[in-house]
Amino acid sequence: MSVTIAVDAMGGDHGPAVTVPASLQFVARHPDVRIILVGIAGAVEHALAAATPSARERIEVRAASETVDMDEPPADALRRKKDSSMRVAIDLVKSGAADACVSAGNTGALMAIARFVLKTLPGIDRPAIASQLPTRRGTTLMLDLGANVNCTSEQLVQFAAMGSALVAAVDGIERPTVGLLNVGEEDIKGNDLVRETSERLKASGLNFHGNVEGSDIYKGTTDVVVCDGFVGNVALKTSEGLAQMLYEFLRAEFARNALTRVAASVAWPVLRAFKRRIDPRRYNGAMLVGLKGVVVKSHGGADAVAFVNALARAHAEVAHGVLDRIAQRISAHA
């Protein structure tokens, strides 16, 4: 089976300087993949100049005349930029010319355009943003990470069903455990939304573990962690900030004086292994789930290594038939 991925070549902080080399690397590693680079033709072709002929063979360029700015209001991007690289990339998924689309651009705009063009799957009110996070046991899928800052309990149950279907399909876990993010494990804890959602999840037929706390995310207590987009976004960004601070403190301690710098040189291979293990680039590629199409959002500041992982995420979603699995699960739990 050949997989075609439409890449918003202009998206992200670095545009074609990252998206094009990453695309070339990805097709070189995956003989079954074709990539359509969507963007300002000159800029894309320029970045493609270094491509080997064999990689170039499976890369197509589709011109788009506009780009969506990183801080552009999503409604403006949707209404006024019908020929943006982001829009054209999503249109390619809609038309069936591509199996998936990857963008490092403006998250809100990507969500708005994807929802408008692709529509949601039957039984899904709102799409969610899902991401895989590293845990002490492996990985966990968390959603929503910011698409929906006001959620109903019904939507949270839909997120749980989608997350379960995704993990079942991609990671091959038959009945993934689902945790509901709360301020305590007891049923009586939490706000009204969470209590109501908990009752619904118990009756949903999903493998509901119960409430989980923030600390359970990285413990890997459940395969899926469900929360509203406000809470999820705060948890994710708090994690990013903390990891950065801890890494900086560790560096500072090793840079303190001549003696600690000697220690650093001895410990260097270990520290490098540690850094690699927690490298956020490994987890780059958030999935917009609940749409009639595979859309993956790369971090805006992604480099080529990180963007390749976002492409891999899109590829895996297509290869594992995630869309069908979600649709099946939603109809089963409707």
Q: Tell me which residues touch its own copies (CB under 8 A).
A: 71, 73, 134-136, 146, 149-150, 181, 183, 186, 188-192, 194, 213-219, 227, 229-231, 233-246, 248-250, 253-254, 256, 259-260, 262-264, 266-267, 269-271, 273-274, 277-278
Give the rounded distance of the alpha carbon of 206 from its chain centre. 23
Residue number, 64 or 145, with CB nearest to its own copies: 145
Residue number, 203 or 243, with CB nearest to its own copies: 243
Residue number, 63 or 263, with CB nearest to its own copies: 263
Nearest distance in Å: CB 231, its own copies? 5
Residue number, 288 or 316, with CB nearest to its own copies: 288
Nearest distance in Å: CB 116, its own copies? 19
How many beta carbons lie within 10 A of that of residue 225, not counting itself?
29
Residue 220 to residues 90, 99, 156, 333: CA-CA distances in angstroms? 33, 31, 20, 25
Nearest distance in Å: CB 311, its own copies? 25
Tokens of 254: 């090793």
Is residue 60 classed exposed, middle or buried when 0-12, 13-18 and 19+ CB atoms within 10 A define those classes?
middle
**Residue 225 to residue 222: CA distance in whole angstroms:** 7
Nearest distance in Å: CB 329, its own copies? 26
Residue number, 86 or 180, with CB nearest to its own copies: 180
Residue number, 49 or 215, with CB nearest to its own copies: 215
Return all residues near 23 (Cβ < 8 A) that are at least 6 apart: 7, 9, 35, 37, 59, 311
Q: What are phi and psi of 246, to 5 degrees?
A: -65, -40
Nearest distance in Å: CB 182, its own copies? 8
Nearest distance in Å: CB 258, its own copies? 12
The strand pair at 286-289 and 207-212 is best described as unpaired
Residue number, 31 or 265, with CB nearest to its own copies: 265
Residue number, 229 or 293, with CB nearest to its own copies: 229
The residue type at 236: L
**Residue 297 to residue 300: CA distance in whole angstroms:** 9
Nearest distance in Å: CB 165, its own copies? 25
**Residue 160 to residue 210: CA distance in whole angstroms:** 12
Nearest distance in Å: CB 10, its own copies? 21
Identify which of 171, 118, 126 has the alpha carbon closest to the alpha carbon of residue 153.
126
Identify which of 110, 106, 108, 104 has the alpha carbon closest to the alpha carbon of residue 12.
104
Tokens of 268: 């260097």
